[in-house]
Amino acid sequence: MTQLGNVTPLFQDLAKVEHEHNLACQECSLYRLCLPLGLHNNDLIQLDKIIKRSQSYSRGQPLFSTQTPFNSIYVVRSGSFKTTVSAVDGREQVTGFYFPGEFVGLDAIYEQAYRSNAKALESSSVCELPFDMLQELGANMPQLQVQMMSRLSKELSGDKSLMFLLGKKTAEEKLATFLLSISRRFQDRGFSAREFQLSMSRGDIANHLGLAVETVSRLFSRFQDEGLIDIHNKSISIRDVEKLKALCG
Amino acid sequence: MTQLGNVTPLFQDLAKVEHEHNLACQECSLYRLCLPLGLHNNDLIQLDKIIKRSQSYSRGQPLFSTQTPFNSIYVVRSGSFKTTVSAVDGREQVTGFYFPGEFVGLDAIYEQAYRSNAKALESSSVCELPFDMLQELGANMPQLQVQMMSRLSKELSGDKSLMFLLGKKTAEEKLATFLLSISRRFQDRGFSAREFQLSMSRGDIANHLGLAVETVSRLFSRFQDEGLIDIHNKSISIRDVEKLKALCG
DNA sequence: CGACTTCTTGACAGGACTCAAACTGTGTGG
DNA sequence: CCACACAGTTTGAGTCCTGTCAAGAAGTCG
């Protein structure tokens, strides 16, 4: 029997607590990770008004696809999502995983059309920000614009790192980097950096890192043999952060 | 002797014409590709005032590096640049090539620090936009903010495509995609889509596409043998656009 | 409890990398 | 203006990492 039964609460649990209450930004526990950061009280109330707090999405359910007319960008409220871009021949690339407080759909602003597909990885919910209303609001709220730019820029800088990963790193380095990235993001959200559940499949991970499923599976096994991690299905526990960091290249 | 001696003017030539005059936005030929697009006359004049039109950069000269304090973002005025991110062990990834009218340094906004290094690929010049002044201006100029977001989003969406390329495409598909991307951008700027000069080295191309120099060199030779392109040193002429498109995957 | 999906493990093959060497172009200094 | 040095490019040979194919195990869901 593994110790992993008793792990940090999942984002899903957060959903139960917060989604049911549909908390306003002021009371949302994601406040300091989210868009409202730095807005003054009055501005915050206005922003709060335009946010649609949607029903939840179940595992596999699309948030939007390239076919969906563009109206809104989204912030993950609970759970997690993946985005993909796909070619005519059916090949797909998982371009990102998104956790609570992170923006989805920012690449749609230019061209006013979704350029990727977003799907829930587990039971999840989002805050929907109608883009036209966001722009109207931004016209009289410079701080909001600053925040938005900052968000876009952050994703940009993450994508550059990902390009380095895809272009220059070995399979081993890719997976180690991935694990630490997830770990850090869990930590930022107040969860354990050491023990968590991977909401995405091996296939999604492999695809995202530009690897074959089999390679990911083999590496997980090897990392486990070498005492770096403990992994059972989707439960993962990081045993040796330092060695893992050393593998990141 | 090749026919390529007499090609469309290079961006470099544009530099000679325009840079010497230091044209204001209103008269700049890049207007419709650049930030000012959609600004009203008065706003445009104000934007124009904060732009520093810098001296030119020569081949290999850095525009900024991760060591440079962040103060400005840049728009290429003439010539071309590359950006790279690098790891501690010296490995580098060329994250992008930038042509006239394109923004460099957008990923620095978040964290207020350059996350990548930018170098001129040929004799080039830029318009420098001090970021604090840009923000002040944006506070009273919603259109400008919209433009900025749009720019950030465009780069984001380009990066997603690049992630697909790096993660899922074969060497052949990568190079074909690259050639057509450059071709399209030349065309957008009023140059020939069929004949142009590659300002970047084989090494830069290879690195950017996640390939070895040798692979790129071999593929160029093969594309030439198959009548897809004509390439001599940095001069390239596209012979069969359709076949090239078919190779993009 | 069965049908299906996801994951793991093994054997094998191939595309792209590495190493090596020759060739070409460029720029510099005498 | 030429000779030399050096960076960039091309081409060949050999190898290895990672993908592909295959089959079985484990997990999931109705």
Whether the CB of B147 is below 8 Å from some CB of chain A: the reply is no
CB atoms within 10 A of CB A8: 16
> Which residues from A are below 8 Å from B167, CB to CB?
93, 166, 207-210
Those of residues 206-235 in A touching chain B at CB distance below 8 A are 207-210
| pLDDT for position A125 | 94
pLDDT level of residue A11 (50, 70, 90 thresholds):
low
Please give the pLDDT value at position B11: 52
Confirm or reject contact between A4 and chain B (CB < 8 A): no
A2 touches strand C (CB under 7 A): no
pLDDT digits (tens, 9 = 90+) for A123-151: 999 999 999 999 999 999 999 999 999 99
Query: Which one, of A48, A45, A59, lies nearest residue A15 by Cα?
Result: A59
Tens digit of each residue's pLDDT (9 = 90 or more) over A26-64: 888 898 899 888 898 899 999 999 999 977 899 999 999
Instruction: Write down the pLDDT at residue A9.
Output: 43
List domains and CATH numbers for chain A: 3-165 (2.60.120.10), 169-247 (1.10.10.10)
Is any atom of strand D within 7 angstroms of residue B220's beta carbon? Answer: yes
Residue A160, C-beta contacts closer than 8 angstroms, at least 6 positions apart: B83, B85, B95, B107, B115, B116, B159
Per-residue pLDDT, B15: 47
Residue A214 beta carbon within 7 A of nucleic strand C: yes
Does A87 or A13 have the greater pLDDT score?
Answer: A87
In terms of phi and psi (left: phi > 0; alpha: psi -120 to 50; beta: otherwise), the region of B238 is: beta
Whether residue A151 contacts residue A39, with contact meaning beta carbons closer than 8 Å, is answered with no
Q: Are A209 and A200 in contact (CB under 8 A)?
A: no
Nearest to A160 among B111, B116, B149 (CB): B116
Question: Can you give the pLDDT at residue A44?
Answer: 93
B45 touches A: beta carbon within 8 Å: no
Q: Does the pLDDT of residue A225 top 60, yes or no?
A: yes
Gap between the Cα atoms of A165 and A178, Å rounded: 9
Instruction: Please tell me the distance from the alpha carbon of residue B52 to that of residue B81, in angstroms, as a whole number.
Output: 18
Read off the pLDDT of residues B38-78 as tens digits, 9 standing for 90 and up: 898 899 999 999 999 977 899 999 999 999 999 999 999 99
Give me the percent of chain A exceeding a pLDDT of 70.
92
State whether residue A195 is helix, strand or coil: strand
B223 CB-to-strand D distance under 7 Å: no
Residue of B nearest to A114 (CA): B157
Structure tokens at A5: 């039964």
Quote the radius of gyration of chain B (alpha carbons, Å).
19
Q: What is the pLDDT of residues A99-122, one digit of tens each?
A: 999 999 999 999 999 999 999 999
CA dihedral defined by B209, B211, B217, B223, rounded to 10 degrees? -60
Give the pLDDT score at A122: 95
Interchain CB distance below 8 Å, B164 and A135:
no
Encode burial over A12-25: b for 16+ CB neighbours within 10 A, e otherwise.
bebbeebbeeebeb
Q: Which residues of chain B have pLDDT under 70?
A: 1-21
Whether the per-residue pLDDT at A8 is higher than 50: the answer is no
Is residue B25 within 8 Å of residue B36, measured between CB atoms?
yes
